[in-house]
Every structure is written in structure tokens, then in C-alpha cells.
Amino acid sequence: MKDLLLVTELHLPVFSPTKPDGKTEEEWEFKHEQVCGYIRQFVDDNVYNHISGETHARTLWNKVEALYASKTGNNKLFYLTKLVQMKYKEGKSLADHLNEIQGIVDQLSGMGIKMEDEVVALLVLASLPESWETLKISLTNSAKDGVINMEIVKSGVLNEEMRKRSQGASSSSSQSDLLTVDSRSKGRSEARGSKQRGKSRGKSNKFANILCHHCKEKGHIRRFCPKFRNERKKGKRDENSDDDGANSVDEFNIVYEEDVVNLTTQETSWVVDSGATIHVTSKRDFFSSYTPGDFGVVRMGNGNLSKVIGKGEVCLETMNGTKLLLKDVRHVPEMRLNLISVDKLDEEGYCNTFHNGQWKLTRGSLVLAKGKKLSKLYVTEAKISPEIVNSAENGDTIELWHKRLGHMSEKSMAKLAQKKVIVGLDHVHLKKCVDCLAGKQNRVAFKSSIPSRAKNVLDLVHSDLCEPDVNVKSLGGARYFVTFIDDHSRKTWVYTLKTKDQALDVFKQFLALVERETGKKLKCIRIDNGGEYKGPFATFCKEHGIRQQFTPPKTPQLNGLAKRMNRTLLERVRCLLSHSKLPQSFWGEALLAAFYVWNRSPSVPLKYDSPEKVWTGKEVSYKHLRVFGCKAFVHIPKDERSKLDSKTRPCVFIGYGQNEFGYRFFDPIQKKLIRSRDAVFIENETIEDVVARKEVPSTDASQPSLGLVPPTPALTEVGEEAQHDQPEIVEQDAHVEVQPEDADDDGQPPAIEGSPVQMTRFGRVTRRSSRYPETEYVSLTDGGEPESFTEAMNDEHKQRWIEAMQDEMDSLYENKTFELVKLPKGKRALKNKWVFKIKHDEHNRQPRLKARLVVKGFSQRKGIDFDEIFSPVVKMTSIRTVLGLAASLNLEVEQMDVKTAFLHGDLEEEIYMEQQEGFKKEKKEDYVCRLRKSLYGLKQAPRQWYKKFESVMGEQGYMKTTSDHCVFVKKFPDGDFIILLLYVDDMLIAGQNVSKINDLKKELSKSFAMKDLGPAKQILGVRIVRDRGVKKIWLSQEKYIEKVLQRFNMDNAKAVSCPLANHFTLTSKQSPSTEKEKAEMDKIPYASAVGSLMYAMVCTRPDIAHAVGVVSRFLSKPGKEHWEAVKWILRYLRGSSKMSLCFGDGEPVLVGYTDADMAGDVDSMRSTSGYLITLSGGAIS
């Protein structure tokens, strides 16, 4: 107890006679009360009653000492008698017996009776039973000079105990089996039944009290243990087996009552289990040290086996504040309880006491933990020690924080540890880091003088331009980066450049930013004689009164701060790329991460403050930092997945958010950038682990050319869908200045404000239109599409974005979409935002920038702001029917697109909207927009657009069909007709007479802003190819199918010749039946694959309709056989991706076929019927 008080620095009130200097009487009295309360937590209940009211530490200590170590003659006699009469009982742990004797010796020593080592050794021998007589004679006769000691005795008796356990008379094998089965078949309390019940089952009672050290059951020894024999037999079979999975594994026993599970759902609850052979928890974040791997299985009380995926140490803090370190704790995710093994505690020298429904764990006279009995089990409450526990993902070791901090130096990390700004980082001693050597190793430094430092921010800024590698461009094509360093705060800004002449543009952005942030003006910039700093750059500085300090030629040492910063950043970039295993083209992303961490690192000139703190005056948070390039599982939002799709995707962490919350990730499988705050990091794995663990396994790469159909004519895409051909990763010269706020308590990254670090950046992922199937969109755009008005104003294409927004506003004014009014009382105005899009044409010319004003319709209220919202779209059956007619009758087929379609719908509700950002009217800033027509984002916008278009078509004499309300038909007196198909804002127009079609186009253009696309080439991702010479039209989805195959890693699979082979007999019995099978199937994108196949089936591939229908039956619980069937269909598409749906053979006559099988559904014994309707030789339904 004295040692414990010394460790916790609570010893002074007990052992110091006087009050220390510097403490008041009130503080000293409180200290006494604190120590008294602390000591009371460790005493027995009977002792507690004697000292419960004591408030003076020394007085309480004396009472405890008197109670525990009374030196009266009566106490001495009691302990001495107890020692002499100590007897060892067969079957009891000999180690416990020796510990008990040593405890009594220690008690007597505290009372002044010193026991000689020889006397204690002789007393130990005297305590042994007659069966140990041979050993006693052996030890006493072999003692040198007749003097025996405890070391000899302890070694001898422990060895003899092991020998006795490994030998003994034979016991019936069948009887042992009976004992084992009976023990396991019973509940926990019965397994601990009376000795008489255990004895009554055997033919002999000789081993009734002997404990088997293999299965931990009484009645036999290890040599005759049936479990041990079975495992040995299994091991021999495994050795002769060629199966790689036949290696033997460790098996541990865990027994618990099912009704206890509901009583111990709290994470702080631990079950004290005498039937468990190991400590167990399911919580990964409980471990203070952790080693992942395959460590065998555990056998539950119900016989089930659960896999152990890791082990380590867990440090508990019991309710009395004591630290209890559990060693060799096994990580079993399937466990519902936290278990403490009594057997393991016993092996580690702890004493477990169970009495009157209470459990107490002691070591000597120190009470470490207490618990109480709940439904046949003992439960204790203990939380994880906050001083030792590590992060939930990987453990915040020193090496891990070294990686998180961008391979910061040991000296700087020591300063952070000294300031205690990082939880768990108390001391720093780094091992040799290979990545640091790869990135930082240099020659021995020359002597240098200590530089002076500017007094205020922006008094002096250092700048330099650097080319990392003449042969390596960043992902966006950048070859250079430029740094700007404030001399006072050492705050650094970084920009990436494609060419050196961009230095002036980024300097202007940097200047506007820092002067706005500080309210001060830049006075001087120190630079070298590079050409990028002369000419226009020098002129700009003179115009703004900024003094330039040029270093003399060939003396880079005079611009040493900037040069050293370039070197530091490049060193960190090399370290990050080396550790993350990312290619060198990611140097821009690594540069951003290195720069971000650098501004938060201790700096020697700042007396180990960080540049960020000096610049902002705020404390810096490190909670959100993660290891660059590590593996992460990113949550997939609901609107980007179906209900059965996986909710996460494996990605690579590449940096922190830009002007927004969240982390930045790269999906190496789909080649796209993701920004999210919802992620779980696996910081000890890299991109190699992500790519190596793709969810869809590869199949045979060999692929014969089946030649199912002749090659179709060259297909050409036009219109908006052309941008979906080739996803590209083209970097934009984006910039981000890392201006953080404190991280949230949950460790999320701070919002980043401001702007400048020219950094490599992939195009952001924009939300795709619901018109297109899941894979028909580009994941990465050419340059960064701004996600807000502010970002667009900071983009290098600012002027073009302004022009795009002005075009949108002109359209709104032209359509008289709104009017400015005062907001009436009781009404509220909806918010809006600008959505920016980069459009590409089929010839890859300069992209067109488009801006669209969108209302935030999610805040609309039903019955107030909207009522009905349903709007029809044309069916694929109608599209195929019209194209079949066009092929046979040689009709003209034209295509048109409506510009800003939703702006044409008339509103029936009274809706108000805030004024647009960037276009507020002067002197009317408090006005709002009263919407007269619908806008994008309104819930009723699609419906109002359809009603408007239906009205206009009615005025032109067109009637909608009863089977499809998006098919409009008009028959002319001369027998000609025109058919118009509408899918939101896309139109197909078919008719005999070109002039009448042109008349319709003119009339539509009078009512709406239209774009004439000419002859139809593609609609909804379906390519349209026509040969009027042979009167045929082909519909194809070759590119879509290829993308689906690539997405599911089946693009190199071996092709097959039928959609679904006869050997597939799919039933619900093939669905997963165990948790392990369910977990394996959860990793497979079954629903996503079936959905992708279904879109191809609906559009152009009726040949896979039956196969897709069969695999769709098992969407809720797919099994491995079902997934094999889906892959078979994909393999069929692999060999028939060029197959097209052809129209034009014969007259436009409907021909129908139908058939049914006989009880084809094995589960329900129902029959499956099907039908096929053709027109002009092609399937339409």
C-alpha cells in the first residue's frame, strides 16, 4: 500500500509530519481526506467499518497498520501456529500453497519475527503429504552440508508436481469420455458440482481430484484426456493431408449462461468466468497493445466455434481506481460478453475469492477489484484506462503518431509529448525509420548562424519555386510548386503550377488571402533571381508597394528559409510516398498532406510553438490526423446504393478536406476521388492491401472469340452521354490554404478555410442524373468542378463561371421565372445554391462550363409548398416499338433536347425563394423571389414541366397514347403521321415527312429553348446505328456492358455460350445458413450486379431475361451458388457484348411467343411462364 501511495503521489499526508510550503490549510485538509478515501478503497469490509469516519491520513494509517499488522503476542502465536500446521492437499495448485506459506512468513516478518530461509524450506517439506516422502528424503539428503534452502525446495516440489501429473495409474478411456461429455453437456453450475457426483461416475476414485491441464476438468490427467487424444488424432490426419487449411489451431474453452447476456450489455461489464481458459473481448478499441492474426478458435458453451482474430493487452481501471493489466487477451468479434478468466488470473499470481454472492480479487493484502453475482455468474464493472488505451483502429503507438505527423522528427515529437497535446504520447524514442532514411538522409550539416526573425506577420515573406522531378508530373499535369513563407510565424502556403508563368496568378491569390485574414499589408518579399519573379511579377509588386529583395546570383544560401522549406516538404513527400506505396504521380496529394502537418509542427525559431498557432493565435488539434496513404473504409450514402448493396467501399486516405469538412479518399478500383467524414481507418495497411482485396474475385483470364454476331457498323455517340466514354484523371490547378479550426471531439477533421496551397486535385465526384444507369457516368472530371459559389470565385476559371451563371440568370429573366417581392408574413423562403458542371463534346474540344440554379427542395412541406410530384417518362418498350416501325417503314428519326426544361413549368403553389448568391439586387437585398415558374430542385418541377409540355403538344394537335403518356401522336389529313417520345428533356421524333418534322421543331422552339441534335444517335446510353440502304436499325449497349464487366472484375473472364447453364439448380436452401457464410456474402455486391444486368435486359438484351429473373429471386439472401450464376451471366455477356438488337426484317407485324416450364421453381414448385413480342424482326417486349 505504501508503494501505491508513492506511485500516485499521495504519500505526503501519511509520512510527512508537517504541511509542505506553498499549501494552504484548506488544501492540506483536502489532501488528507483524499488519501483517506483512497486507502479505504483497498481494505476488507470488516476493516472498513473501523476506519470509515477517519479524516486524518496518518491516524487512519496507524489504525490500518494496527488491524493488519498487530504485533501482539496473540497475533504472533496465531500466525506461527498457522504456518506450522499448514498442510498441502493433493490436487491443489502447489504454486498457491507456496504463495500462501510465503504470505504468512511476510506477516510474521512485519511483526518482528524473522524466519530463516532454511526453516521456511523445512516447513514446506513438512507440509507435504506422505505420498511425497521420496522427494523429501531426496532433497534433504542431497543438500550441501545438510543446509537446505527455499530455492532448492521450490524447484524440487514444482518439478515433482509436473511429474505426478504426467504419470499415474491407468483410467478407463471410456470413463474419461463419459466425464468429459457430461461436464460439457451441463450448465456452468452443474459442471462445478460436488465431488461426490464427480466420484460416482468413475470405476476408481484415484484421479477424482486430479485436474487435467489440457481440458481443465477433474477426473483424469492429460495423458488419458479424451479431448487431447482426439486432437492428436486430428493432428496426424492433418499432417497427412494436402489441404492448405488443415493446419491445427489452438482451441480454447468458454462457458457462459445465455440468460446472463442481457444483464451485461454495458461495455464496462466484465464476467469473471472460472470456466474460461482465456480472457476475451469483442472490442478492438479496448486493447492497449494489439497483434492481429489467426490465433485459433474458442469453443462456446453451446459447442459453437468462434474465430480469434487478434490478441494483446487490456488495461482496466476498476471502480476503486486501481489499474488491472490483463495479458494475452483474445479478440473474438462474435463474443457478446467481456470475459475475465479466473484460471489466467490464478496463473498470474492473483487471488480470487467467491463468497456470499461477492467476488474479490486481491494480491497480498491489496484489494484490486470487486464484483457481484448475477444469474449464476460473477460480474465486475471496470472501464478501459484512458491513459493507456489506444485508438480504435490501430493503436496510437509512437511509430503510428510518427506516420500520422508526416514523419515528424523525434525532437519535435518530444516537444508535443512534453506539452501533452496528444493523448497517449508521453515519451518519444523513435526506432530507425526506413521511410525517413529514404526521404531525408543528407550529408553532415555545415555550421550556420542563427537567423533573425521579423517582428510582425507579413513584414517579410520568403518565396521560391521548385520542380520536384523533371520526368514526373502530378496527376493534374503540374510540374512545379511555389512556396510562400511568413518570416514571423513561419506559416507556409504552397501552390502547384503547370508552368512557371503561373507564379504571378497564385501570388495574387495568396496576397488577397493573407491581407484579408490579418488586416495587414505585405511589406517585403525575398526571392531569388528566377525569371518567374521578374517582368510582370516585378511590375505588380511595384504597383502595390511591395519591396522585392533579390538574392545575388548563385547565392541560394541567402534565400535559405525558402530553399530549406522546399527541401523539407520534398523530404516529407518522399517519406509519405515511400510508406504509402503510392506512385510518384501522387506527389501533389502528398505535398498537401506534408504541408498541412508542417504548419502544425513545433518550430525551433518559434520556441517549439507551431506556425499555425502563431498565425491564428489558437491551439492546434491533432485528434483528426491519420496516416497518409492508409487503407480506409468509406461509408456509401443511401442515394448512391440500393438497400442490398454494401454500405462501405475500401479506399486510400490522401488528405484533408478543402474548404469543407471531411477527409479526402481515392478509390483505386473505380479511379475516383471521394470526400467524406464517415470513414474507418486501417492505418497499418496501404494501397496494396486495398487493391489486393477487391470484393469480386478474378476468374480465368482466357477468352475465346465466339463470334456470336457479325460486327455492327461503327457506332458514334453524340449529345450529353458522350462524356461517359473515357473517364480521365486530369488535375486542375486548384489551391487550398489550410486554415483549420479545432477538430471536433470525435476526431473529425476541422473545416478548412481560406485558400491557397496549389495542390494536385482530382475532379470532384458529382451526383449523377437518375436518368442513367449506375455505371453510365464519369467518376472523375477534367478539373475540379466547384461545389459552391465561393469556390467558383476562387477558381482559375472564375470569369468563365461568372459568364455561365449570367447565362443561367438570363434564361430565368427571359422565362419570367420569378419576381422580387417582400416576404409576406407567415411565409418562408426556400434556400438555393449554384451547381456547376463541366460539359464535354464528342470531339474533345475545350469543355463548356455550365451553371445551374437549384432550389433546396428538401425543405419543402407537403400540402403547403407542393402536392402531387409524379411525372411519367417514356417506356423502353415504346422506344423499341417506334424504332422498329422506323426501320420497316423507313421513317425519319430525329432527336431534340430541351434547354432548362424544368424552368418552363408553371407553378400552382405560392413559393418564395431567397435571392441568388452573387446576383442580389442593390437596395433590394432584403427582398425575396416569388416563383412564377418551376426551378430545378423543386419537388413538383418534373410534374409541372410534363404538364406544360403536354399542354403545348395538345395545342399542336397531338394526342398522348393510353398505354404510354409520354408517347404523343398526330395523324395528318394526307395520311402522314408523327410520333414524339419524351424522356424528361430528351425527345425522339419519328415521321415520314421531314418538312413536317421540321415544322414541329419550329413550333416547339417557339415555346421552349430547344437544341436540335439531328438524326438520332443515342438515347439513355443506348446507341442507335442505322443503315437506310438495308432498312435496318441496331440498338447496342456494348460500352455499358464493358463497363459492367470491368466494375465486377469480369472483363477478362472466360466467355460462355448461354445465359444460364443446365447445371444451375438454384434454391433458397443454398442461401447462407451460418454467420460466417453471411459475412462472406455481405462482401459480394450481388444486388448491384443483378441491377446492372437488369438494365441491359430491359434495354437491349432480352436473351438474358429468364436468367436475370431466376437470380433476382434470391436478392434478399444470396448464396455462393447464386453468385456463381450471376458471374455465369456476366461471362455470357463477356462473349456477346457486341450483340445488338436488330429491327427491319420483314413487315411491321406484331408476332408473339409464349411458353412455360413445369414446376421449375424448386422451392415453391410453381411454374414459370414467359413471353416475347417482336415487331419488324426485333424484340420489343
Active site residues per annotation: 273
Distances (CA, A) of 612 to 55, 598, 616, 737, 810: 49, 9, 6, 12, 44
Q: Are 90 and 209 in contact (CB under 8 A)?
A: yes
For residue 72, give the C-alpha cell.
Answer: 501482539
φ, ψ (nearest 5 deg) of residue 424: 90, -10
Rg (CA), the chain: 40
The DSSP line for 693-713 is T-SSPP----------SPPPP
Non-local CB neighbours of 954 within 8 Å, separated by 6+ positions: none
What span, in angstroms and rounded, lies between the C-alpha atoms of 1180 and 193?
Answer: 76
Q: Are 137 and 186 in contact (CB under 8 A)?
A: no
For residue 385, give the C-alpha cell.
Answer: 484506462
Non-local CB neighbours of 209 within 8 Å, separated by 6+ positions: 90, 91, 195, 218
Burial of residue 598, with CB atoms counted within 10 A of its CB: 0-12 exposed, 13-18 middle, 19 or more buried: buried
Burial 483-492 (b: 16+ CB within 10 A, else e): bbbbbbbbbb
Q: Which 3 state secondary structure label does DSSP give 328?
A: strand
Q: Which residue has the cell 504552397?
A: 494
What span, in angstroms and rounded, lies between the C-alpha atoms of 517 and 526?
Answer: 21
Nearest CA to 404 among 589, 98, 653? Answer: 653
Q: Name the region of 467 (left: φ>0; alpha: ψ -120 to 50; beta: rest).
A: beta
Q: Are 69 and 110 in contact (CB under 8 A)?
A: yes
Q: Are 635 and 650 in contact (CB under 8 A)?
A: no
Q: Count the neighbouring beta carbons within 10 Å of the beta carbon of residue 889.
A: 16
End-to-end CA distance of the chain: 86
Burial of residue 701, with CB atoms counted within 10 A of its CB: 0-12 exposed, 13-18 middle, 19 or more buried: exposed
The DSSP line for 794-826 is TSTTHHHHHHHHHHHHHHHHHTT-EEEEPPPTT
Show the DSSP H helices in 240-298 as ranges.
none
For residue 1062, give the C-alpha cell.
Answer: 443446365
Pairing of strands 323-331, 280-281: parallel
User: What's the longest Cα–Cα distance across the chain?
Assistant: 135
The DSSP line for 70-93 is ---HHHHHHHHHHHHT--PPTTS-
For residue 752, give the C-alpha cell.
Answer: 478548412
Q: Which 3 state secondary structure label does DSSP give 413?
A: helix
Q: Count the neighbouring beta carbons within 10 Å of the beta carbon of residue 248.
A: 14
Nearest CA to 379 among 216, 301, 267? Answer: 267
Burial of residue 524, with CB atoms counted within 10 A of its CB: 0-12 exposed, 13-18 middle, 19 or more buried: middle
What span, in angstroms and rounded, lies between the C-alpha atoms of 1145 and 342?
Answer: 83
Residues in the chain: 1181
DSSP 194: -
Q: Count the neighbouring beta carbons within 10 Å of the beta carbon of residue 186.
A: 14
φ, ψ (nearest 5 deg) of residue 820: -85, 125
| The residue type at 359 | W
